[in-house]
Structure 1
Amino acid sequence: MLAGLSELFWQERLWFPEGLGWADLEDRDGRVYAKARDLWVALPIAVLFLLIRQLFEKYVATPLASLLGLKETVRRRVAHNPALESYYCNTSKNPTQSSVEKLSKQTGWTERQVQRWFRRRRNQDRPNLLKKFCEASWRFAFYLLAFIGGLAALIDKPWLYDLEEMWKGFPTLTLLPSQYWYYMLELAFYTSLLFSVASDVKRKDFKEQIIHHVATILLISFSWCVNYIRAGTLIMFMHDSADYLLESAKMFNYARWKNACNYIFILFAAIFIVTRLIIFPFRIMYCTWVYPVTLYPPFFGYYFFNGLLMVLLCLHMFWAALIIRLAFRFLSSNSSVEDERSDRDETDESEEEEELKNGEIKKKNGAAQNGHATYNNNHSKTE
């Protein structure tokens, strides 16, 4: 059964245009071609990336955070309360007002104490700034090195300047050592991100991130198998050109370097829009969707490859909407850029301000009554 499925999966008519097949990608006359079995190399490299990441975050990112003056907020620990903890874990982390009233009667606490307990309990589950900074530092380091490596691999290639050159001689395109390592490292990195997604900081676009990682892994793997190497390297290089700027903006944001964060973010937004919403659909996708049909009839692999590119384009538009909204908010109000996907800590500032106002009112009332303060017996002394 497995042999039958494997034979069905690797049918040449699914992967190649009519008249071409796996035999065309057999090494001969000193020419080396990409092979599906090469992709297994990415798995041990992905595990190695996970180990390197641990060392990087401990010995590079953490000292860098201290150097940039990142100060971690000390969060208040909540008092252990079995009833509230059970509700928090099994029912909801954000109780309704009616639930707060019931829990208040059940525990003997005031409603404000119950609300404060849930607020601080939610904060305990949120990742701290140092963890966010270390993750952003790791991604920044890889994306920057990948961008530099991609530039070195493509700078002297004609298809970087004339996109139609990416199909010249297809599918018998000789594999270069630089292309091999560019592919394997990129595939291994995104595989490692997929491995670590459970322990990484979860943001509001968590599902979109998973879709992006899976689509990227499929796109890299498929383009390798059918020798879309030139198109694949261009797509990876274009993505790397903006990603390291986003991660560096996050790093400065976590370190409270607001001006540096804002300026880098605006630069990132400009590059992101140009590369992802202009060059990607109108240049690269044009040369993967329109130009190839002038050379050979469409086949399953042609539709599958371009379908994955459409998924990426939809994600680009989703993130572009968030980026543009942040950029306009910054430019119109001159405020600092905040990542809307982040799960920010909740504070007790509103309560403290209310208590401060109550204290001022009491002082004024006391002064009006010859220095004798009045007391509101409807409020308990402690909460």
Structure 2
Amino acid sequence: MPVMEQERKIQNVEIPSSLGYVDLLIQSAGQFIGALKECKDCGWASSWDTLQAHAHFSWKELLCVILCALAWTALRMATTKWIFQPFSKWCQLRPKEAQKVPESAWKLLFYSCSWSYCSYLLFFTEHNFFHDPPSTFHGWKSGVAIPKEIALVYLIQGSFYAHSTYATLYMDAWRKDSIVMIIHHVVTFTLISFSYAFRYHNIGILVLFLHDFNDILLEFTKLNIYFKTRGGTYHRINGIITDIGSILFSVSWFWFRLYWFPIKVLYVTCSSSLESNPNIPFYFFFNVLLFLLTLMNIYWFLYIVMFVVKVLTGQVKEVDDVREYDICEDQKIGVQDHSKTSTRHKETVNNKQYTSNGYVKKRV
């Protein structure tokens, strides 16, 4: 086949509009399994050779990620001490809610900014990958230069998830899904790092866009939960916003992560990528991590469904936590008193005080 004709054929690769959601998922999985069966040299030696041949990541870039991760940690501590905690005190929140505000406010601030910038790139620049996902692999070449505006996203997001892995352990409130959250952060950081090194940055922008929106709704809703009772008074407006936010969060989680993500990302990485580049490197590695990310999205969605069922059946009278993840304080203290091996999150000081992340606070 002439080169020009082959290039035209590759450029015409698109998601078949005649296929339904389930058909696309089945075809994506079939394409992945078929490629795995046809792979004759997929061992560690071949993977190492491929990594050396196609991965491009300098020590300077690694140093920038580390420094930015440390900067995120310092910035969070500063905003917590000088902005979020004083604001909670000024609003006269109850101590239990006041402790949770800095974490949610910090995450809301970051995800709002990061998602807005990704939206700008996808809808107001030439990076029109949302409406044409297969184009993310058009013209892919090993070691190609990454546009500065996309490289900036990768630096911000990569360093933030490196910071978030540490923050989940030592700064965030410990929750029932914290272990899964740590795994999520490690998987996300790995995907960001390797997609940058292998120059799969176009599809990476789309993945970040489809995931950050839900975090905005989640943290915004949780803040309204904390602000429902302040100054000794119940504020109905925050309760109404909480109910609306819970509904929007549940719907958007399904739509962004369980509908759009499979058809705009998984299908493209499993099927369209091979059609555009038959010998695309680390095909199995990236798709396995993306499928793992999908499984975690399903896992969290089950929490959401269970919570909605409890609300509808009257087991929960009022929305307190959208994902119902928080472990109660007594349970956390009881576990730590029993093990006496970890003072990572909270350590009893006396009957009326405890320390949380280095700060002495009164027990609620």
- In 1, the alpha carbon distance for the partners of 2:274 and 2:50 equals 16
Q: Which amino acid aligns with 1:281?
A: P
Q: Which amino acid aligns with 2:73?
A: L
User: Which of 160, 166, 176 lines up with 2:130 in the alignment?
Assistant: 160
User: Which of 202, 215, 224 lines up with 1:252 in the alignment?
Assistant: 224
Maintained 8 Å contact 2:187/2:289 = yes
Q: Which residue of 2 aligns with 1:42?
A: 65
Q: Which residue of 2 aligns with 1:343?
A: 327
The aligned length equals 271
Q: Which amino acid aligns with 2:86?
A: P
Maintained 8 Å contact 1:327/1:337 = no
Higher Cα Rg, which structure: 1
Q: Which amino acid aligns with 2:168?
A: V
Q: Deviations over 1:146-198 (max 9, x none)?
A: 11111122222222210011011012554111111100110111111112233
User: Which of 307, 311, 318 lines up with 1:330 in the alignment?
Assistant: 311
How big is the shift at 1:71? 1.5
Q: Deviations over 1:187-243 (max 9, x none)?
A: 111111112233221101121011101000100001001000001111011111111
Q: Which residue of 1 aligns with 2:264?
A: 283
User: Which of 183, 200, 207 lines up with 1:228 in the alignment?
Assistant: 200
- In 1, the alpha carbon distance for the partners of 2:222 and 2:86 equals 17
- In 1, the alpha carbon distance for the partners of 2:57 and 2:47 equals 12
Q: What secondary structure sits across from 1:175 in the alignment?
A: coil
Equivalent residues in 2 for 1:314-325, closer than 5 Å: 314-325=295-306
Q: Does structure 1 residue 63 correspond to structure 2 residue 51?
A: no
Alpha carbons of structure 1 residues 14 and 43: separation in structure 2 relative to 1, 3 Å: closer
Alpha carbons of structure 1 residues 289 and 193: separation in structure 2 relative to 1, 3 Å: same
Q: What secondary structure sits across from 2:193 in the alignment?
A: helix
Alpha carbons of structure 1 residues 9 and 177: separation in structure 2 relative to 1, 3 Å: farther
How big is the shift at 1:266? 1.1
TM-score (norm 2): 0.69
User: Which of 142, 150, 154 lines up with 2:110 in the alignment?
Assistant: 142
Alpha carbons of structure 1 residues 68 and 322: separation in structure 2 relative to 1, 3 Å: farther
Alpha carbon RMSD of aligned pairs, Å? 2.5
Q: Which amino acid aligns with 1:216?
A: T
Q: Does structure 1 residue 269 correspond to structure 2 residue 250?
A: yes
Q: What secondary structure sits across from 2:277 in the alignment?
A: coil
- In 2, the alpha carbon distance for the partners of 1:226 and 1:158 equals 20
Alpha carbons of structure 1 residues 288 and 130: separation in structure 2 relative to 1, 3 Å: same
Report which stretch shifted further, 35-44 or 133-142. 35-44
- In 2, the alpha carbon distance for the partners of 1:344 and 1:262 equals 22
- In 2, the alpha carbon distance for the partners of 1:12 and 1:166 equals 25
Maintained 8 Å contact 1:39/1:221 = no
Q: Which residue of 2 aligns with 1:131?
A: 99
Q: What secondary structure sits across from 1:291 in the alignment?
A: helix
How big is the shift at 1:259? 2.4
How big is the shift at 1:300? 5.8
- In 1, the alpha carbon distance for the partners of 2:275 and 2:282 equals 16
Q: Deviations over 1:277-316 (max 9, x none)?
A: 0011122110011111213335661100011101110100
Q: Does structure 1 residue 310 correspond to structure 2 residue 282?
A: no
- In 1, the alpha carbon distance for the partners of 2:280 and 2:135 equals 21
Q: What secondary structure sits across from 2:146 in the alignment?
A: coil
Structure whose residues are more often strand by fraction: 2
- In 2, the alpha carbon distance for the partners of 1:302 and 1:317 equals 23
How big is the shift at 1:327? 2.7
Q: What secondary structure sits across from 1:158 in the alignment?
A: coil
How big is the shift at 1:345? 4.4
Structure 1 portions without partners, runs of 5+: 1-6, 16-20, 26-33, 73-127, 348-383
Report which stretch shifted further, 178-187 or 321-330. 321-330
- In 1, the alpha carbon distance for the partners of 2:47 and 2:306 equals 45
Alpha carbons of structure 1 residues 131 and 9: separation in structure 2 relative to 1, 3 Å: farther
How big is the shift at 1:263? 1.3
Identical aligned pairs, as a percentage?
A: 25
- In 1, the alpha carbon distance for the partners of 2:221 and 2:88 equals 14
TM-score (norm 1): 0.65
